[in-house]
């Protein structure tokens, strides 16, 4: 349901209520890596080497920056290593490579454990002109059913959203000190473990994981941690000690996919600090709200999933289209609110939703982004298999695969490049190989175009905007539809062609009726371990800056950065929204919003 709210309601201070964080099973079980037999070790080594030899696409740009060749390092892995050494060395390769979307996960029982505590932190500035920020408590969650002592619960209740985190002891990072360190130093240690091309992406990950450790990434902390807090209200400095809460996570349960994603990223319903009057704006189905500012009316549209709402059978693109058609004569502009809070935009998406949504604001033909693949025999067969299972047909399949991949493999002049793993395809449309959704097979045959071409459009996002969200923001910028606002210099940086090794190792029925894996001769990784990897490098062909050529990596560089103050943390970015409204209400259009778009 679409909700109309006035500016006073929308900009009201958010309620600092605590919401329940559900954890099914606390445990004292130790974190440990399993013993692998010879066959499992061989499978692991072959899989890691295959990913970097046959599929990994970023080394043609990444090697110039880091001078690290992950494939060469994979050749040092062998089945003669003991199990723990092999697993840790494999993890070290992925960590040192540092790609946010190319990851290895430890097997059971290690991956079954997580550790966390019941608040989050954010990086804030006393005022937007500050150069040095600080860590503040940004969210708290209910501990009503958590097995803490009365003293620990009282201490927890005494901590308030907006209080500054000064230091932490036993930060819970394997191999790092358990002595007291400053909160900012702790953030830097977590950034060392984070992946991504830019420091801002790494900082965002580190903030999200400040009080969360996943066993599939490393050893989970034990014992207590101690924090030093500076109260926002009176400036008093206090010290509290809490236990790292260790629990069995979803990864070894039989919950459905949606529940698993919610558990992983939200520890339950983590919609803390949200004013109940604003709750519709944060429901999974998204919403659109009307806000009055300086005599102008702006639609604030929250996009939550870029996907059909299965519960309500409502497609977000259709919902937004209907809203714009109804309200376009009453509004002066639109703000898309894409800020991530372990954002669902990262996980649920249809292939063409970003294209369809961007097309509402222009009559231009917006194309689904093209991709680059590594040229290899293995990748040619993988491409054919992936296309076949999505299209369920073989007509023209061989010709398409030959045109995009086979012609290189059959030409002697490319032989040396292929041998050296330095040849990549030209950018091409891989739409049908990636997804099978409700929109037409031709990604350019979008249902709705040019619904609103003469109003100011802004996009407000942060670096947690990923995958489909990242695609949408890049389209809105590259086709000169919207001005992009962020709380950091860049947003996104994650690819959209992310696949799991175990998914690609699954069997399919070929046109001849035989069975085989999508990756030739691939085997499921042992004991629940897995590899996620970017199959293709997505190209932003309309990007205006060379360092924005690819969707993965640097992400989308924003037009205007508004740093979050402590008041923004407490009040749902109230000040930043006011600044965006002011930019849009400026009669001189000093920001340069795109009006009368083609």
Percent of the chain scored above 90 by pLDDT?
Answer: 48
What is residue 213's three-state secondary structure?
A: strand
The pLDDT value recorded for residue 195 is 80
Residue 506 clears pLDDT 80, i.e. is over it:
no
Asked if residue 153 has a cis previous peptide bond (ω within 30° of 0), the answer is no
Centre a 10 Å sphere on the Cβ of residue 410 and count the other Cβ atoms it contains.
10
How confident is the model over 132-157, as a mean pLDDT?
A: 93
Phi-psi label, residue 521: left if phi above 0, alpha if psi -120 to 50, beta otherwise = left
The pLDDT value recorded for residue 65 is 53
The pLDDT value recorded for residue 279 is 33
| φ, ψ for residue 552, nearest 5 deg | -85, 155
Mean of the per-residue pLDDT values of the chain: 81
Residue 181 clears pLDDT 50, i.e. is over it:
yes
Contact 481, 595 (CB under 8 A): no
In whole angstroms, how far apart are CA 388 and each of 435, 519, 520? 12, 13, 14
What 8-state DSSP symbol labels residue 33?
A: P
| φ, ψ for residue 415, nearest 5 deg | -60, -45
Contact 221, 116 (CB under 8 A): no
Span between the terminal Cα atoms of the chain, in Å: 31
467 against 473, higher pLDDT: 473
Count of CA atoms in the C-beta half-sphere (13 A) of 38: 1
How much is the pTM? 0.84
390 against 436, higher pLDDT: 390
The pLDDT value recorded for residue 347 is 44
Residue 13 clears pLDDT 50, i.e. is over it:
no
Residue count of the chain, please give it: 598
- Choose among 484, 486, 476, 485: nearest CA to 597: 476
The pLDDT value recorded for residue 541 is 84
Q: Tell me the pLDDT band of 302, cut-offs 50, 70 and 90.
A: confident
Largest CA distance in the chain: 75
Residue 3 clears pLDDT 80, i.e. is over it:
no
Q: Tell me the pLDDT band of 511, cut-offs 50, 70 and 90.
A: low
Contact 161, 138 (CB under 8 A): yes
Q: Which helix (H) or strand (E) holds 532?
A: strand 530-534
Residue 1 clears pLDDT 70, i.e. is over it:
no
In terms of average pLDDT, the best of 246-250, 259-263, 348-352, 585-589 is: 585-589
Least confident stretch, 222-226, 437-441, 449-453, 584-588: 437-441
Residue 549 clears pLDDT 80, i.e. is over it:
yes
């Amino acid at each position: 349901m679409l909700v109309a709210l006035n500016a006073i309601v929308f900009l009201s201070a958010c309620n600092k209520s605590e919401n329940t964080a559900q954890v099914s099973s606390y445990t004292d079980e130790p974190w440990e890596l399993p013993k692998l037999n010879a066959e499992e070790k061989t499978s692991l080594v072959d899989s890691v080497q295959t990913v970097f030899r046959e599929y990994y696409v970023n080394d043609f740009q990444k090697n110039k920056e880091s001078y690290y060749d992950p494939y060469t390092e994979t050749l040092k892995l062998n089945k003669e290593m003991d199990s723990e050494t092999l697993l840790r060395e494999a993890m070290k390769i992925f960590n040192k490579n540092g790609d946010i979307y190319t990851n290895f996960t430890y097997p059971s029982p290690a991956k079954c454990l997580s550790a966390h505590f019941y608040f989050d932190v954010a990086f804030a500035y006393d005022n937007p002109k500050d150069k040095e920020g600080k860590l503040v408590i940004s969210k708290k969650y209910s501990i009503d059913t958590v097995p803490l002592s009365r003293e620990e619960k009282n201490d927890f209740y005494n901590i308030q959203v907006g209080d500054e985190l000064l230091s932490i002891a036993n930060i819970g990072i394997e191999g790092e000190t358990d002595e007291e360190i400053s909160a900012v130093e702790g953030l830097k240690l977590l950034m060392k473990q984070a992946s991504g091309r830019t420091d801002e992406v790494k900082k965002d990950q580190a903030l999200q994981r400040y009080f969360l450790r996943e066993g599939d990434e490393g050893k989970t902390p034990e014992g207590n941690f101690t924090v030093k807090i500076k109260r926002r209200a009176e400036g008093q400095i206090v010290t509290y000690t809490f236990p790292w809460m260790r629990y069995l996570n979803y990864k070894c349960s039989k919950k459905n996919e949606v529940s698993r994603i919610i558990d992983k990223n939200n520890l339950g319903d983590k919609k803390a600090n949200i004013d109940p009057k604003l709750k519709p704006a944060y429901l999974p189905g998204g919403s659109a709200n009307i806000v009055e500012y300086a005599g102008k009316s702006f639609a604030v549209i929250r996009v939550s999933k870029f996907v059909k709402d299965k519960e309500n059978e409502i497609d977000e693109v259709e919902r937004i289209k209907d809203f714009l058609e109804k309200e376009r004569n009453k509004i002066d502009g639109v703000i898309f609110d894409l800020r991530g809070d372990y954002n669902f935009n990262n996980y649920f998406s249809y292939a063409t939703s970003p294209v369809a949504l961007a097309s509402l604001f222009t009559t231009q033909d917006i194309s689904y982004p093209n991709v680059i693949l590594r040229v290899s025999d293995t990748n040619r067969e993988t491409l054919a298999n992936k296309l076949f299972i999505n299209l369920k047909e073989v007509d023209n399949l061989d010709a398409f695969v030959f045109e995009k991949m086979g012609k290189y493999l059959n030409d002697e002049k490319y032989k040396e490049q292929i041998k050296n793993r330095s040849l990549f395809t030209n950018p091409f449309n891989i739409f049908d190989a990636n997804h099978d959704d409700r929109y037409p097979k031709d990604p350019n045959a979008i249902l709705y175009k040019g619904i609103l071409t003469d109003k100011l459009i802004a996009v407000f996002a942060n670096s947690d905007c990923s995958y489909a969200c990242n695609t949408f923001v890049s389209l809105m910028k590259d086709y000169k539809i919207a001005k992009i606002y962020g709380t950091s210099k860049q947003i996104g940086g994650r690819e959209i062609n992310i696949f799991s090794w175990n998914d690609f190792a699954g069997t399919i029925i070929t046109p001849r009726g035989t069975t085989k894996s999508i990756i030739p001769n691939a085997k499921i990784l042992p004991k629940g371990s897995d590899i996620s990897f970017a199959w293709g490098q997505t190209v932003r062909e309309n990007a205006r800056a060379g360092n924005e050529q690819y969707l993965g990596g640097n992400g989308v560089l924003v037009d205007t950065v508004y740093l979050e103050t402590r008041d923004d943390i407490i009040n749902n970015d109230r000040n930043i929204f006011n600044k965006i409204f002011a930019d849009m209400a400026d009669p001189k259009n000093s920001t340069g919003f795109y009006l009368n778009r083609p």
